Amino acid sequence: MTATHVTLREVALRDGLQIEEPIPTEAKVELLEAIAATGVTEVEATAFVSPSKVPALADAPDFAAELARFPDIAFSALVASPNGARRALDAGLNSIEYVVSAADAHSRANVGRDSAAATAAIPEIAAIAHDANATVEVIIATAWDCPFDGPTPAERVLRIVDAAVESGADRIAVADTIGTTTPGRVTALLDRVRPAIGGLPLGCHFHNTRGTGLASAYAAVLAGVNRLDASVGGVGGCPFAPGASGNIATEDLVYMLRDSGIAVDVDLERAIAAARIAQRLIGRTLPSALLRAGDRLLR
């Protein structure tokens, strides 16, 4: 049941940058070039959301125009509404992620409506994507805990899973938005989610806020999950989730997986190089462990 190969989605450009001071589009292209050099096959490029709420991603259409130069990468963009989905497709994306918070308080803070209302928009967004021959992934945020509501009942997650499956979503992901979950609870939730998704690809998104991100990722892999989000340098956080900080670092995840005998199509040294560029562009020390310690000394 353990996954033997993991598809890593690089999220530094969206989840990584969204909480930061805006950096120029050209700087994002520089970072994307370094990311592309790692060999990663999937990249979350940006989000088509309110420019006033997420100014760091206000250049989404301009940045999207640069993506055609990287034909080997499958790009996606996050959206939070039907309008955002249309904007992403108009900008040339052919893969969108619609994020729905399982917890009402985070949902309201994030998109101004509760989880049920956000869930109700899944069919419309799926139809918008499919009408444009694009795919849609439903990402379930605060799948384990909400910074306001506390632990999220699994039933709240499963309601969104059911709506996604019924709406013909192409992929599903569960996200530990605030970096509080741990491997035991990862296993427990995945045991509930997996039977509900039929044959759909299932991904996980972890933050390392409490140091448990890699352990949770490993538990997910043991449970058969073969799609994981990570960001070079470990940048990232949710501006509407107090206490969130740091996606799991791409290079740390690659190190752990490969050393554990699980294949992942990302070059480790180039991921560390990309993390170094992210650190320079963002201008502060990033939390990645490999960025500090390097790969194992003798190989």
Catalytic residues: 238
Interface with its own copies in residues 193-212 (CB under 8 A): 208-212
Using the minimum distance from each CB to its own copies, give the nearer residue, 196 or 222.
222
* Total of residues contacting its own copies (CB under 8 A): 45
Q: Are strands 135-141 and 95-101 parallel, antiparallel or unpaired?
A: parallel
Instruction: List, as own/partner pairs, every contact residues 156-159 make where C-beta atoms lie below 8 angstroms and the sequence separation is at least 24, other chains included.
Output: 156/102, 156/103, 156/115, 157/102, 157/189, 157/192, 157/193, 158/192, 158/193, 158/196, 159/115, 159/116, 159/119
Of positions 21, 52, 71, 298, contacts its own copies by CB under 8 A? 298
Q: What amino acid is encoded at 69 in this protein?
A: R
Of positions 15, 46, 121, 147, contacts its own copies by CB under 8 A? 147
Of positions 132, 148, 196, 197, contacts its own copies by CB under 8 A? 148
Task: Measure CA 163 to chain center.
Answer: 20
Interface with its own copies in residues 231-290 (CB under 8 A): 242-243, 245, 249, 252, 255-257, 259-262, 288-290
Build a one-symbol-per-residue string for 13-32: x at contacts with its own copies by CB under 8 A, - elsewhere: --------------------
- 222 touches 261 (CB < 8 A): no
Q: How far apart are CA 159 and CA 230, in angstroms?
A: 26
Using the minimum distance from each CB to its own copies, give the nearer residue, 184 or 195.
184
Min dist. Cβ of residue 222 to its own copies (A):
8
Of positions 24, 92, 112, 184, contacts its own copies by CB under 8 A? 184
- 63 touches 45 (CB < 8 A): yes
What one-character-per-residue DSSP string does 210-226 give? TS-HHHHHHHHHHTT--
Contact status: 224 vs its own copies (CB under 8 A)? no
The residues, any chain, with a CB within 8 Å of residue 195's CB and separated by 6 or more, are none
Contact status: 178 vs its own copies (CB under 8 A)? yes
Using the minimum distance from each CB to its own copies, give the nearer residue, 138 or 186.
186
CA torsion sign, 200 to 244 to 159 to 80?
negative
Min dist. Cβ of residue 264 to its own copies (A):
12
Q: What is the CA radius of gyration of the chain?
A: 17
Site residues for its own copies per CB under 8 A: 145, 147-150, 178-185, 208-212, 214-215, 217-219, 222, 242-243, 245, 249, 252, 255-257, 259-262, 288-290, 293-294, 296-299
